[in-house]
Structure 1
Amino acid sequence: MPEPSRHFTFALMRDFTLVSFACAVDTLRLANHMAEAAPYSWDVVGEGGGAARSSSGVEVALDGPLGELRRDAVLVVVGGTDIRAATSRPLLSWLRREARRGGPVAGLCTAAWPMAEAGLIDGRRATIHWENADGFAEAFPDVDLTGGIYTIDGRWMTTAGGTASVDLFLKLISDDMGEGFATAVADQLIYSSIRTDRDSQRLSIPTRIGVRHPRLGTVIRAMEENIEEPVSPAILAERVGMSTRQLERLFRRYLNRSPKRYYMELRLARARNLLMQTDLSIIEVALACGFTSPSHFSKCYRAQYGTTPYRERGTRQTPGEERPTRP
C-alpha cells in the first residue's frame, strides 16, 4: 500500500479547546506509529509565537507565529471558548491570505466562526459546537449550518468540538490509507464506534433529560424547534393526543416543572446564548426567542439568571473593544 505524505499546520486560537487539538494530533501520531513509514507530519502555530494557552489553562509550545504555510499544508484552526473575542483582525487577515493557496482548511470546535467571519464558507455546509449554534446561525445566515459532528464541503472541513476531531481525522486517514487501517487506528484509541458526518452531535432528547417517554420527547423536540414563535401547551398536547391537563401531569412527574416553565427555560437559554455570542440588539434577541415585549423579556431573564439582559451583555464586553469586521 503506497504511503501518502500529508502535512498539517495547527493554528491554535486564544483559549482553544485542548481536547479537540489533542484528539486530532494523537490520531495522526497513532497512524504514524502503525504505518511502515510515518505518513503524516505537523507543526503548531499561533498569534505571536511562543505558547498558546488553552481554555483549561494548559499551555502548548508553538513552532512559530502565523506565517506563510507550506504549499502542501492542510490548515487546521483550533477554536475554543469566547470565540468572538478570540477572532482577531490579524487572524482573519492570515486566514484569508492562506486560504487563497487553495489547500484544505479545517476548523475544530468553534473555529467555524473565524472561517465564516473571514468569508471563507459562505454558501457552504459547516458545523460548530451546539452551544454556539444559535449565535452562529444569527451571525452568518449565508452558511448552511448543520447539527452534525463534522462536515466536509469541498476543501472546507469543520467539527463540533470534543472528540469529533477523532472522527474527522479517522475519515481523512481512511481516505488516505483505507478503511481497515483507519479502523485499526480507532482500535488503538479505544474508540469503539467511528461516527460519520451523518451523526448528530447532541445526545437524544430521552438521554439528555433522563426520561424515555415517547410523547414527552416529541413535545420537547417541538419546543426546541419553535423558539421564535412559541406554540401553546394546548396545541402541543393535542399534537401528541393528550389533554392539556395530562401534559401538565407528564411534565410534573418527569421534569418537576410545568410545560410552560420548561418552555420558558428553553427560550431564555437561547436568549442567553444570543446575548453572549452575537451583536443582536436586546430587542432583536427578545424577538428571536418569542418575546414581543422587551420589559417582559427583561423581567423573565432576571428571574431566571439574577441579572438583566443589558447587564449580562455588559459584563462580557471590554470597553472600547472593537469586533473584527468582514471586508
Structure 2
Amino acid sequence: MAAHTGTVLISEVGPRDGLQALKRTMPTEAKINWIKALAAAGLTEIEVGSFVSPKLLPQMADCAQVVAAAREIPGLTVLALAPNLKGAAAAFDAGVHKVSLPVSVSESHSKANINRTTEQAIAAIADIKALRDGLPDDTPGAKAGIEIGLSTAFGCTIEGPVPEDRVIRMAALAIEMGAEAVGLSDTTGYGNPAQVGRLFRRLIAEIGLDRVGGAHFHNTRGQGLANVIAALEQGVTTFDASQAGLGGCPYAPGATGNLVTEDLVWMLESMGLDTGVDIERLIGAREVLLAGLPGETLYGHVADAGLPLGFEYANQARPAA
C-alpha cells in the first residue's frame, strides 16, 4: 500500500445519523452541548440534524434551533440533511452552510426512506438549486452548498446487489441537475474494500475528484476502516463518522453501526494524515454525549484501550493533551 501524507476532513454525523436511529430523543440543550464538545475537539464539519417531518423523526424536531446554535461556533461548517424541497427550504432559512440531500440508488430504499422514486429524487435537485439561487444574497442560506449522498451505493438490504453502472449514472445526473458534490454511502454495510476502490475510481473518472463529496461507511460487517483505506487509495479525503458508532438507517433493515469517529481519527493520525482532531478531547466528548443520553451503549476500540504509548499526531505541532 502506498504511503499517505496530507490532511483528511472528518465530517461528524452523530448528531444527525446517530440520533435519528435512536428511539429516544436527546434534549436540545444536550445536543448543543455535545456539538460544542465535538467542535472543541477539533472537528470542523458537523451534520447537526435533518429537516424532516417531526411525525416521522421526532428526534429531529428541533433542527432549526440546533443549527442556529451551531452557527455560533467559530470555524464550524454546519451541515443538515434535507430529503425534499420543503426540508431544503427550512435548512436554507435556518442558515446551514451545506445541505445534504439523500438520493438512494435502490428504488425500494428510496421509496421507504423518502417516499419518492429515484427519478423524482434526482429531479428535485434542480428545484432545490433554483430555490437556493433565488434567495436574496443577505439571507443566511443563500450561499449554502448542495451535496448529494448516494445511499445504498454498495448494496441494499431490500433489493440486494446494486449495479455499479447505475451508481455512476446517477452521480452524473446529480451533477447535471446542479449538485456541487456527490459522495457514496454504504448505508447497509455491504461494501468491501475491492468494491469501494473500484466504485470510487469510476466516480472520480466520471465527475472529477473535486466534486467527490466524500465517503460514508457503516461498520455493520466490520469493514468500515478497511473501506476507508480503499477510498484513500483513490484520493478521497473526506469521510463521515459518528462518535461512539451511533447510528444506522431506520429504513434499511439491519443497517446498524456508523464508523466510530474516535477509531477513524486514530487510524488516520497513526498513518501520518492530519485530521486536526485531538483524540483525548474527542473521547472526553463521549461524557457529554452520555449526559444527554444516560445509559446509551457507546462503541469504540480506542476509547476502551486508550492511546498507545509513544503515540504522536501527524501534525507534531499539535501534541497529545
| Structure exhibiting the larger radius of gyration computed from Cα positions | 1
> What TM-score does the superposition give when structure 1 sets the normalisation length?
0.30
Q: Which structure has the higher relative contact order (CA within 8 Å, separation 6+)?
A: 2
> What TM-score does the superposition give when structure 2 sets the normalisation length?
0.30
